[in-house]
Chain A
Amino acid sequence: MSTPPAGPPGTGGGAATVPLRIAGSPAGPAGSSGSAGSSGSAGSSGPAGGPARPAWHPSVLFAPARLRQLGALLLVGVLAAIVTGPTGNSDKPLQAAKDSIVDVRIVLYLGLAVALWVLLVLGAQLRGALERVSAPVRAPVGAAYGRRGGPIVLNLVLLAIAIVAPMVVSTAAQQSMVNDIGIYALLALGLNVVVGYAGLLDLGYIAFFAIGAYATAYFTSQTAMPWHAPFVLNPFFVFPIALILAALAGVILGAPTLRLRGDYLAIVTLGFGEIIHLVANNADNITNGARGAFGVPHLSIDLLGIDYKWGIDPLPYYYLLLVIIVVVMIAFGRLERSRIGRSWAAIREDEIAAEATGVATLRMKLLAFAIGASVSGFAGVLFASKQFFNPQSFSLQASFFVVAVVIFGGMGSRLGVVVGAVVLQGLAFYLRDKVPPADRYIYFGAIIVIMMIFRPQGLVPSRRRRREIQLVEEGIGAADSLGVAPTGGQR
């Protein structure tokens, strides 16, 4: 009489009177299917359960996933050769590409690509071997799910690199590390809460950044904009104000629109971003219009005996940003592991089930929106006090760029989105003198397309996100934060 959905896994095993908990094999469909590596964790899959593989066999080199990886790397090599090659002109648009491809350069890049691939393969093999050795130790808990695999050392190394890096580069690069990489890393961390944690696509995210920046101009200077506060505040006091203003704007935008699903929310936020941008651009006698805000004072503190002024030198800004980014990363890590982070994960994976389990979905989504917006507003204050700005900085393109950083770096992964900002903005800096500004987005587009084909989970994927994508690929669940969740909780 029961109507079983087609082929429940496990019913076959416990056919007669055998209790099922014995029948279920430890390696379920998600834990470790032998797909020999669709990602960086590649050959390391399946430490528990599966048949013992030989430690090394040449055939791993020719697994389809491996070959695809090689193809991607070669493609990137060609792209890099073209990018670094001679600049073309409009008379012979393909001349430059041709010159690049017949150059010595291409050999170099293709060689690099192959070398990198070999390293990746060997690395995966090595890791697989290590896990086979350590598997018996941590098999019961660690196989499918383990918290804190000891990346503390890695984090410290990365932090050390971040501290040392600006000291060895040019001033122009330092400027870029603050204005582009640092600010965008912060923005991406904020958007990551909205897109990566709660699974909401916000295409107008930069609007909150603009709110923060204009709030700074309003409160800290009598001359930056025609419209200004009757008093002057130290930029540091504007941080909390901008935070609250941006969060408030997020709630006001979110309250009516978060009832919408997926695509509709994206369109509404897109509209909101454009409204803020156009208002900033056109309200000449309020925001100074397209000319932008001049003369917002630099940050300075004079408190408890500490007297310091940030100035033209980008380094102090860099280290301030670094501290803020690290603090935000730690804070959001805690948030993600709390009941709030779990509620977001629940909403992302199955909103109807989350609601039925008592998660106040609308309120949690609003919270994600507000938190994301407040980080954006906070970044806006830093941005405004660092440099002159005009509405150009808050264009649609900037919004898309932050989304691209989050997706490229790895949705839901704090380290990932920061690395994403470093890579994409680093690329932008690198391309600055190499290609005309208008062409820059061609390369971004190409690199993101390649990324989405070969590594959809992003550069440094979050553990949850990786599992979700794995499940979707196997046809279980439809948890894609950018897709519409399956609807209808009945029958």
Chain B
Amino acid sequence: MSRVGAHRSGVPGARNPRADETAPGDLVVEARDLALRFGGVTSLDGVSLRQRRGEILAVIGPNGAGKTSLFNCLTGAYRPQQGSVTFWPQADRPTELVGRRPHAITRLGVARTFQNIRLFPALSALENVQIGTEVRQRYGPVGAILGLPHARRAERDGVRHALSLLDLVGLSHRTHELAASLPYGEQRRLEIARALGTEPSLLLLDEPAAGTNPAEKQDLAGLITRIAGTGVSVLLIEHDMRLVMSVATAVVVLNFGRVIAHGTPGEVQRDPAVIEAYLGVTDAEDTGGAAGGADVPAGRGAAARKDVR
């Protein structure tokens, strides 16, 4: 428990004054004091974060720090017991997200990918993206059955948009292949294309580089930068520090459901609280191998050492 205390004490020092000065009109999303508990387990414990429009914000932290829980609160998959999330689809239209259903949030302009890829496996790559591009279309069953002009036009537009997105993520050659038959890295990119199909202003990527090889990671970094270049803000969970450092304009560090640091990648990298969270020194060494091992598996600690430095 003393470990938690240690992290808490790190918070004030880590706070970056720059974020507080930002004018609200410049923000795309702001979470305030989110708390999420499952029975006795606290997953998020008063998390606040702000993201400016067009920014690539990375959320990092050890496993179990609450990163995906944060995503699930932002996208409506979970409803936090406390706190609020404000989202600005446009600069002058603040919208509260907590309490809305996931599909409604997607329609407002928040799209996401999943840590464990969730494509529609038996549909083709094109159909997967089409489902994304069609969420804003309004034609109903009658239009579809009768083949009314507006329905046909919408259908064509949806296909065209989907094809251009497949091109963007470099999957043009896979258009008609089943999602499940694509290699792992391509499935990840297909999921990004599907999310982009919903025309988001905020894109949440949950460990997009997990399980991909170095060449793919490089491609991915380029892709994320390109997406941000089109005006989409990207909120990114990622363990791969090289990727985070190369694309992120700002970083938020979570540990035990709390924000322990935020700032530019360089600032965060030097932050003592962050180094401690990742390396699990001080208390972990005092309490012995068993306790340390439970919180920070040895393998991961070693990997973190390599990645953070």
Contact = CB atoms under 8 A, between A and B. Distances in A.
A28 B181 contact: yes
Contacts of A355: 101-103, 106
A140 to B, nearest CB: 8
Given A24-B183, A360-B103, A467 B213 contact: no
A335 B145 CA distance: 6
A1 B240 contact: yes
Contacts of B77: 352, 356, 489-490
Given A28-B177, A358-B103, A338 B151 contact: yes
A399 B10 CA distance: 65
A468 interface: yes
Given A18-B215, A353-B114, A476 B121 contact: yes
Contact of B144 (A2, A339, A489): A339
A491 B212 contact: no
Interface residues of A, number: 64
A404 to B, nearest CB: 24
Interface stretch (B82-90, B91-99, B132-140, B267-275): B132-140
A4 B176 CA distance: 27
A272 B213 CA distance: 54
Contact of B155 (A24, A339, A356, A464): A339
A3 interface: yes
A91 B195 CA distance: 69
A29 B181 contact: yes
A489 B120 contact: no
A15 interface: yes
A341 B147 CA distance: 14
A17 interface: yes
Given A145-B124, A354-B131, A357-B131, A2 B181 contact: no
Contacts of B18: none
Contacts of B102: 355-356
Interface stretch (A63-71, A166-174, A342-350): A342-350
A367 interface: yes
Interface in A7-27: 8-11, 13-21, 23-24
Interface string B208-240: 011111111001000000000000000000011
Interface string B55-99: 000000001000011011001011000000000000000000000
B49 interface: no
A477 interface: yes
A342 B178 contact: no
A488 to B, nearest CB: 9
Contacts of B68: 490-491
Nearest to A464: B122
B122 A349 contact: yes
Nearest to A26: B177
Contact of A357 (B72, B132, B140, B241): B132
Nearest to B244: A1
A325 interface: no
A8 B182 CA distance: 11
Nearest to A364: B103
Nearest to A327: B145
Contacts of A144: 124, 176-178, 181
A30 interface: yes
Contacts of B177: 28, 31, 144-145
Nearest to A470: B122
A479 B121 contact: yes
Contacts of B219: 19
B303 interface: yes
A356 B115 contact: no
A343 B131 contact: yes
Contacts of B211: 2, 4-5, 8, 11
A281 interface: no
A2 B106 contact: no
Nearest to A359: B103
A76 interface: no
A340 B240 contact: no
The winner among A332, A355, A464, A490 for most chain B CB atoms within 10 A is A490
A309 interface: no
Interface in A468-491: 468, 471, 476-477, 479, 489-491
A2 B303 CA distance: 9
Interface in A407-457: none
A489 B114 contact: yes
Interface in B289-303: 300, 303
A29 B181 CA distance: 5
B106 A356 contact: yes
B212 A11 contact: yes
Contacts of A146: 176
Contacts of B240: 1-2
A350 B216 contact: no
A332 B185 CA distance: 36
Contact of A29 (B120, B137, B180, B300): B180
B180 A342 contact: no
Given A1-B303, A29-B180, A30-B180, A350 B120 contact: yes
Given A145-B124, A338-B151, A353 B103 contact: no
Contact of A471 (B69, B72, B121, B210): B121
Contacts of B173: 21
B296 to A, nearest CB: 12
Contacts of A345: 120, 122-123, 127
Interface string B152-177: 00110010000000000010010111
A28 B155 contact: no
Contact of B72 (A10, A354, A489): A489
A45 interface: no
Given A334-B147, A477-B121, A491 B180 contact: no
A188 interface: no
A387 to B, nearest CB: 30
A251 B137 CA distance: 22
Interface of A: 1-5, 8-11, 13-21, 23-24, 28-31, 141, 144-146, 331-332, 334-335, 338-343, 345-346, 349-350, 352-361, 367, 371, 464, 467-468, 471, 476-477, 479, 489-491
Given A20-B216, A357-B194, 5 more contacts: A1-B303, A17-B214, A343-B134, A357-B198, A358-B135
Which 6 A-B pairs rank lowest in CB-CB distance, beginning with the nearest?
A28-B181, A10-B183, A358-B135, A8-B184, A4-B211, A338-B144
Interface of B: 63, 68-69, 71-72, 75, 77-78, 101-104, 106-107, 111-112, 114-116, 118-124, 127, 130-132, 134-137, 139-141, 144-145, 147, 151, 154-155, 158, 170, 173, 175-178, 180-186, 194-195, 197-198, 207, 209-216, 219, 239-241, 300, 303-304, 306-307
